Structure 1
């Protein structure tokens, strides 16, 4: 951080020197041309400083991953995709539509209801005469050029900006030319078509395709149309919503009994025919706006409610700080108004309320500031103007602005954005006549929505592939997910009770009863920003019915009665209850049946494997689960065949899929890593394995393993990979031997205890530890199991050391075949599971483990055949 501050110091000094020069010239009443030149230099230095700040700041988000997630989960996507799509137009999917509507609902509550505003809903179709009076017909345009060869249009100022920045960045460009280009960039906003054409010619600028360009022509940004069949009445789709409020000012004033101050608000769509829309929702052709017009007496801009926000702290980037090259300041809004940094109480009040709204819907306060317009940016009729700017991966973007405007004497009065003409009439009146000033907060919902999504995007620590959206519950599209632990019929009634309870509290929810493990289902709901999840598990059947409530961001859980779920979730969503308070009231739970406290946890990658103390820690948790199932028959009731299965019951249910996955893995290993599996006689173990797959799968009977060995079935995990095990971290971020949780504990099913041994030792241990430590691990497990059974009042063990080892050898083949596709996937460098460094060494570890598993499978197979 100190290096960044040091590096930016030179940029800040350059801005300060340019700002001092502008002040001095104005104080000396220098010629306008000299002042303009100094302002141009100041703007160029400011731009260089901002670009340096963005370039040097730590990367906060992988935009590519976020955009992929938003597209896959259909938050929004380009419109008319099946016909090639139209740039600048976007369709919102179920999640995006709900998120947008929730943001609009909160805006309406936060401003219209709280402030008692007068809401209007005016037509988007606007007659030409209205927009002629506002200046839009004549001046609402951008300069456009076209590629002479392809005909592609380009916004001329953007093209010049991109070309100039590329030339400035090039080492081949002479320094005097770079200085000229910097001055051009600073003045570009004020260029007309002749200025732009001169730049294009002088610097030989081409289209992005490298072709010559037409001369700049004015392109009006409004969509024209006509009203009625004759075509005599021209109209446009409105470029903004303010016109509807201003043309109805008289009616609104009458509705408010002729009193000011009052505020009118409107939510609606605006349309701008952008030449080259880009940056997703940042610059589009159709967009939703929320706009307020607050009319006040120009002689009294005090605000009765300002005392409520006087101590509210905002980050302000004042015009003075911009000229000095200083960083934004944090200051209470009351102090800012007192010092006349902000013009008046009403404007300050709206800035504070705007800040509150943006934080409520999910904007990161560290990436939010209010930037004051400098004198050269201010419209002639404006006294003060501030933009709420949010930092995204695109840089600082304007999300909302608040402007205080005044009027001038004459036949017409220009208000905000030159939107209205007034005519003066003489009447006999008994009241004082004045033209109100207007404070105009305006919000672009699409831009705010994109910023919220960026700021909510997260990656689980230690697992960059697990991405999720930490959206505030108040705007989350779906408030709660319902995740049944299994498809058992006795859980259906409990699930329906949870759904009814959530409906009673008007909470949106989504049921995910798909076949995937609970961990994968959690990940799916986390991706779409569902903040809370209800899990209906085996404990739920006990009276009174209870469920677990999971907090997606912290991964913590509490257990609640079913009838308390809706009330608790509603309080969490509305902000009346924090998650910490919910834990205090209900107690957080952890253990082998619940995901424990995993905030300070990490995982070990497959290639790293487990050490002996860690294997024993997992076995201790397995002993708890097995003891529970051996001393409690409730989990068996109504379960049917599903609780008499081993993990090979999966292949019985889906035989073709299982065989294809195993066969594909063998072929890929043979193709890519065949040398690892050659035998002393020149053959290949993979060819031998392929020859026994069908026989191995067809002869695998889960029930026979239990009945033949006299071992009762228990609840087993069957999915004990290293990346499903969460370990406590020490101060150096290294993992310890303290097991916090098995992530996919909900993937438990009925099977043989040997399943857990095969999967745990086969997938996550080195061959040496697996082979040499098997008997030690079985002994440790039986000691833990005996302790857990005694605690439950049972003093006899259900199986012996020899029975477990025999079952382990008998089930080893099934375990190998089930693990093989995942081991192959990990060995493939293209899957990214080997990390960024030492890939070949890590790959060798996985392949060595795979080779050893196949060797031992054939050894056990031969041993069982001779018995």
Structure 2
């Protein structure tokens, strides 16, 4: 909850910079747009989000994980389509020369949503119709051309410029290009998934909204390889999960609305066209709730046809509301066989998986056995290509061999071959299996946007002991620090020594711990509340010198309630609290409640 008069975004930025979550990079040199540094709190929060994602989408799903390079050679992106189809719409101010994303200008200044899906001529018309001006200097932009701008950062690999390369715009291509080897690690059995968490780069025209749109960011992606004719997910595990969906049909309807339904119902009704996409929407919905996203400010929105990526047959975004805007924090795309087929065309390797039949099958196959003693003298160096083209044509269109001659294309040339020379025939063959080009289902998560959302959704303000308190209601799963450890009084040696010993013991038990003996105990609590530390342990005189076993107070962040817990039970209690297997109310029921400064 932001302070009075401040927007949620301003409150996030102020807290993030002051408490070391994230801030603009290279500030000593004036900064550079679209690049951020994570401070100590933010780096820990981000790492915990990545670990939580890895646990759910890699470990629990039984998937592989790789870590590929962030720079790849140009042919990779020629094959993937990124060189020709990875563009945003740019309009340049005629006065100050500042570049802007044209679709963002329209969305910010009009009631139009998803302007990214509109064609360039319509975008130019809207700029003129609404008299849009440059946000930097106020000059009118009507009549200025809107151009496509490729978002990839280019570089060279090695000395000189003989080997062009690009910083990857997504981690996915690093998985696709290694598929011929990865399928071996998966024992050539579909379905299987490969995950990757790493940096990606996009030369955004106008970075904005802090971590929401940057030029360097972290993705957590899963590429699920499936046989579309045989493989189905276990939808029963998420079928009853209630979700909010915003299908494309509702977005274009004047009376369109959010659908409240279950994953199972949405897949059965065809609202979600793929059971695999439905499965991952359900898993993601559960995961987002587990890490602390406010599910009252969360939905899945289907892409309109004009905004889908060039590779996607269907795509849904996970969106979170922050400061009145819905921001994309993940995408779920059915990519079909686009990626592997494209790399198979351009690369020199096998991007298929051999699927063994349960029993061998006898099938009829169209084959040719061209007389090379005729093709060689007739076509010279093109003879082998002609023979391959004849076989491809026989498999694709057997009726093409009904006449006296058959014509094939090799490169830019056509070659006519007498049908008798081609020796076309239908044969019965026994097959033990077939080669399948897998389809791909891709859940792709923006780690930075998830971090931003978690901070936004966790901001709270209440009153404790008559004073206003601000705190982050972060899930213990992702909170930057697990436990704060304090001596009640900072200048008493036996208290500080024992507190330091306990801090060390908790670190050895696997907790991230901050030790603090600076200022009053109330101030120390407030500092930890503000960065989301869920529990604080305080060493006091009563715990050291009481009649019973040595004890400490354990304070829970959200309620500010405290319980006196024996030191011997401390690790077990904190383990249960962090894992969520024990509620703090249970601790209060089991141990003595402590009435002290909160």
Q: CA deviation at 1:552?
A: 0.8
Distance 1:217 1:347, change over 3 A: closer
> In the alignment, what sits opposite 2:425?
none
1:563 aligns with one of 544, 563, 568: 568
Summarize the alignment of residues 377-396 of structure 1 with structure 2, pairs less than 5 Å apart. Answer: 377-378=307-308, 382-396=312-326
1:525 aligns with one of 525, 528, 532: 528
Distance 1:381 1:131, change over 3 A: closer
Cα distance in 1 for residues equivalent to 2:100 and 2:348? 31
Cα distance in 2 for residues equivalent to 1:206 and 1:376? 25
Instruction: Name the SS of the counterpart of 2:207 in structure 1.
Output: coil
Summarize the alignment of residues 453-852 of structure 1 with structure 2, pairs less than 5 Å apart. Answer: 453-461=455-463, 465-486=468-489, 487-514=491-518, 516-543=519-546, 544-590=549-595, 594-595=596-597
The alignment status of 1:316 with 2:245, answered yes or no, reads yes
State the superposition RMSD in angstroms. Answer: 3.1
Cα distance in 1 for residues equivalent to 2:528 and 2:179? 47
Q: CA deviation at 1:396?
A: 1.2
User: C-alpha deviations, 1:17-62, integer Å up to 9, x for none?
Assistant: xxxxxxxxxxxxxxxxxxxxxxxxxxxxxxxxxxxxxxxxxx9974
Cα distance in 2 for residues equivalent to 1:203 and 1:492? 65
Cα distance in 1 for residues equivalent to 2:311 and 2:89? 25
Cα distance in 2 for residues equivalent to 1:333 and 1:423? 32
Aligned length: 510
Q: CA deviation at 1:135?
A: 1.6
Cα distance in 2 for residues equivalent to 1:526 and 1:105? 23
Q: CA deviation at 1:84?
A: 0.6
Rg comparison, structure with higher value = 1
Cα distance in 2 for residues equivalent to 1:297 and 1:406? 10
Q: CA deviation at 1:270?
A: 0.6
Cα distance in 2 for residues equivalent to 1:188 and 1:105? 33
Q: CA deviation at 1:476?
A: 0.6
> In the alignment, what sits opposite 1:143?
89
User: C-alpha deviations, 1:779-826, integer Å up to 9, x for none?
Assistant: xxxxxxxxxxxxxxxxxxxxxxxxxxxxxxxxxxxxxxxxxxxxxxxx
> In the alignment, what sits opposite 2:197?
267
User: C-alpha deviations, 1:176-231, integer Å up to 9, x for none?
Assistant: xxxxxx6xx77663333x55555556665432212355644432211111011121
Q: CA deviation at 1:116?
A: 1.0
The alignment status of 1:153 with 2:99, answered yes or no, reads yes
> In the alignment, what sits opposite 2:166?
236
Cα distance in 2 for residues equivalent to 1:496 and 1:141? 55
C-alpha contact (below 8 Å) 2:471/2:532 kept by paired residues:
yes
1:72 aligns with one of 18, 31, 48: 18
C-alpha contact (below 8 Å) 1:532/1:550 kept by paired residues:
yes
Instruction: Name the SS of the counterpart of 1:69 in structure 2.
Output: helix
Instruction: Name the SS of the counterpart of 2:437 in structure 1.
Output: coil
2:30 aligns with one of 84, 95, 110: 84
Distance 1:156 1:536, change over 3 A: same
The alignment status of 1:206 with 2:133, answered yes or no, reads yes
> In the alignment, what sits opposite 1:285?
215
User: C-alpha deviations, 1:270-321, integer Å up to 9, x for none?
Assistant: 1001111000100000000011110111113422x43322322222223444
C-alpha contact (below 8 Å) 1:343/1:383 kept by paired residues:
no
Cα distance in 2 for residues equivalent to 1:326 and 1:190? 19
Cα distance in 2 for residues equivalent to 1:582 and 1:564? 11
C-alpha contact (below 8 Å) 2:207/2:214 kept by paired residues:
yes
Cα distance in 1 for residues equivalent to 2:572 and 2:126? 65
The alignment status of 1:451 with 2:453, answered yes or no, reads yes
Instruction: Name the SS of the counterpart of 1:99 in structure 2.
Output: helix
Q: CA deviation at 1:394?
A: 4.6
> In the alignment, what sits opposite 1:294?
224
> In the alignment, what sits opposite 1:651?
none
Cα distance in 1 for residues equivalent to 2:134 and 2:293? 37
**Higher deviation after alignment, 348-357 or 525-534:** 348-357
Q: CA deviation at 1:499?
A: 1.7
2:188 aligns with one of 247, 258, 264: 258
Q: CA deviation at 1:460?
A: 1.4
Cα distance in 1 for residues equivalent to 2:512 and 2:274? 42
C-alpha contact (below 8 Å) 1:301/1:344 kept by paired residues:
no
User: C-alpha deviations, 1:431-484, integer Å up to 9, x for none?
Assistant: 123322211100000111101000100111487852111111111111111121
1:441 aligns with one of 434, 440, 443: 443
Q: CA deviation at 1:73?
A: 0.6
Distance 1:455 1:293, change over 3 A: same
Cα distance in 1 for residues equivalent to 2:126 and 2:140? 14
User: C-alpha deviations, 1:610-664, integer Å up to 9, x for none?
Assistant: xxxxxxxxxxxxxxxxxxxxxxxxxxxxxxxxxxxxxxxxxxxxxxxxxxxxxxx
Cα distance in 2 for residues equivalent to 1:575 and 1:420? 50
Tell me the TM-score normalised to structure 2 length. 0.78
Cα distance in 2 for residues equivalent to 1:106 and 1:583? 28
User: C-alpha deviations, 1:132-182, integer Å up to 9, x for none?
Assistant: 1222112222232333333322223333444x52xx8xxxxxxxxxxxxx6
C-alpha contact (below 8 Å) 1:131/1:419 kept by paired residues:
no
Structure with the higher fraction of residues in helix conformation = 1
Q: CA deviation at 1:513?
A: 0.5
Instruction: Name the SS of the counterpart of 2:558 in structure 1.
Output: coil
> In the alignment, what sits opposite 1:772?
none
Distance 1:156 1:383, change over 3 A: closer
Cα distance in 1 for residues equivalent to 2:186 and 2:326? 39
Q: CA deviation at 1:420?
A: 13
User: C-alpha deviations, 1:638-693, integer Å up to 9, x for none?
Assistant: xxxxxxxxxxxxxxxxxxxxxxxxxxxxxxxxxxxxxxxxxxxxxxxxxxxxxxxx
Instruction: Name the SS of the counterpart of 1:588 in structure 2.
Output: strand
Cα distance in 2 for residues equivalent to 1:454 and 1:316? 22
Distance 1:187 1:399, change over 3 A: closer
Q: CA deviation at 1:579?
A: 1.3
C-alpha contact (below 8 Å) 1:102/1:477 kept by paired residues:
yes
> In the alignment, what sits opposite 1:358?
288
> In the alignment, what sits opposite 1:335?
265
The alignment status of 1:432 with 2:434, answered yes or no, reads yes
**Higher deviation after alignment, 525-534 or 398-407:** 398-407
Cα distance in 2 for residues equivalent to 1:353 and 1:206? 43
Cα distance in 1 for residues equivalent to 2:59 and 2:29? 42
Cα distance in 1 for residues equivalent to 2:295 and 2:116? 32
Summarize the alignment of residues 166-205 of structure 1 with structure 2, pairs less than 5 Å apart. Answer: 189-192=117-120, 196-197=123-124, 200=127, 205=132
Instruction: Name the SS of the counterpart of 1:432 in structure 2.
Output: strand
Q: CA deviation at 1:75?
A: 0.5
Structure with the higher fraction of residues in strand conformation = 2
Distance 1:186 1:471, change over 3 A: closer
Instruction: Name the SS of the counterpart of 1:307 in structure 2.
Output: helix
C-alpha contact (below 8 Å) 1:61/1:457 kept by paired residues:
no
Q: CA deviation at 1:498?
A: 1.6
The alignment status of 1:117 with 2:46, answered yes or no, reads no
